[in-house]
Amino acid sequence: MTSNHKKVTGVRRCAITATLGILAVCCGTDRALADPPTAPLDPPFYSFDAESPKVLSGLVHAYDILEVNDLVPNIAEPGVSLGLDQPGDDLDALSRDYSGLLTGQEFLLLFSVDRTTEGEAPPDPTLVDLHVPYNAKDQAEKGQAAGDQYMSTVVCTRQSICALPRRGLTNNSTLVRNNYDEGGTDFAADPPTSAEDTAARVPQDNVDATSALPQSPDPDREVLEVFFSASEDSPSLVPLSDIHPPSGANIFFNPHPANATSETSVFAAASALGLGQDDDIDAMIVFNGDGDILFTPGDQVMFSLTPGSPSLTTYLGSGVDAGGAYVFMVTHGEDPVVIATAEDLGLGLPDDNVDALDYVICPDAELCAPEFGIRSPYFPAVAGWGLAVTALLGLVAGTALFRRKSK
């Protein structure tokens, strides 16, 4: 064997070894994580429901107001500050006063869903092409939808029914906040998975209330001005409801939970909202127009009800097929009206359920989803193969060049 032949053989062996190494790195068993939004939304305050693993383990309570903190959420305000501290109490909806939103200003709904939600619409093709491919159906199929937050494609105002803009999106949603670490805007919720992962039959923390609550300027981050509801089975509904019949559809208000002298009062009884005692509000946005602590002229509440709430089949426009994925608006002195159906949000009937509500100002989801949405990875598995093939071609070319020079 000649000296030149030995050199060429050695180079070939190096090329094969290096190529296999690249293939192992690029195409091995390590999963590809989804990429964070380019402009992440500010983390909200939130709560987990009573069946959430972090509640069952005693790390937090179902009546606590939480904020994200690495692996386990911080308790921003304990439920006792609101008058919720009995076993079985469940903080079911949160809101600040959003009356600063102009009546004609356009916004997109932010919403969470529960564990039984399956979703109806596959990811919107336009949003998939824009590299924001995750929606409620996709995450439900992966077994991790209950700890997420989604943004609607329909555009809403305080004075009209939510509707798609003129461009070509479908009635749908896009994932803007993952259950667990996906760009630092997550809920620190179980399971600790990426939006890319499948986690079927794994216990899920259920985000059942969200809101961008105001904070005091104090270093201890006290929460101010809390509107909330409690689940219909919460024992504390009886004392909190005062002279009103206890109901999961009563809305309560506390101006400063961290202040020991700040008391919770009834902002709106179920009857004032056009609801019945057996209805249960599990998501809401409050517009307290006059700034007082009662539901009075000028005030509005956007809300969703739990599946099985009797009023779902009696509202004008909702029909007999209405469910927990419908969103309503009630203005003081008027009957509630449907502003978004399950179909509008890419959800299905009868069991899908909107479990938390908020909003982000935006006139068009096609413009905002690439900014706020969680994105597909830059180098998913197929991209890894592509990278490996490119490297292999480069090494082969280098071998050929060395061969020519060695002759």
Phi and psi at residue 384, to the nearest 5°: -60, -45
As a whole number of angstroms, the distance between CA 127 and CA 243 comes to 50
Closest of 386, 374, 403, 402 to residue 38, by C-alpha: 374
For 237-284, the pLDDT digits (tens) are 999 999 999 999 999 999 999 888 899 999 999 999 999 999 999 999
- Angle between helix axes 381-406 and 3-27 (nearest 10 degrees) is 170
**What percentage of the chain has pLDDT greater than the value 70?**
82
The residue length of the chain stands at 407
Is the predicted pLDDT of residue 302 greater than 60, yes or no?
Answer: yes
Q: For residue 15, report the phi and psi dihedrals to the nearest 5 degrees.
A: -65, -45
Contact 180, 188 (CB under 8 A): yes
End-to-end, the C-alpha distance of the chain in Å comes to: 14
Name the token pair of 308.
């099985």
Mean pLDDT rounded to a whole number for the chain: 85
Of the candidate ranges 78-82, 218-222, 308-312, 344-348, the one whose mean pLDDT is the lowest: 218-222
Strand partners, 157: 160
Q: Is residue 394 scored above 70 in pLDDT?
A: no
Least confident range of 23-32, 146-155, 345-354? 23-32
Higher-confidence position of 15 and 172: 172
Range in 5-9, 45-49, 402-406 the model is least confident about: 5-9
Tokens 């798609």 map to which residue? 164
How much is the pLDDT for 317?
Answer: 61
Give dist(CA 378, CA 305) in Å, integer: 39
Which residues fall within 8 angstroms of residue 365, CB to CB, at 6 or more apart?
Answer: 108, 127, 151, 152, 153, 154, 155, 165, 169, 174
pTM exceeds 0.75 for this model: yes
Q: What is the pLDDT of residues 76-124, one digit of tens each?
A: 999 999 999 999 999 999 999 999 999 999 999 999 999 999 999 999 9
The widest CA-to-CA distance across the chain, in whole angstroms, is: 101
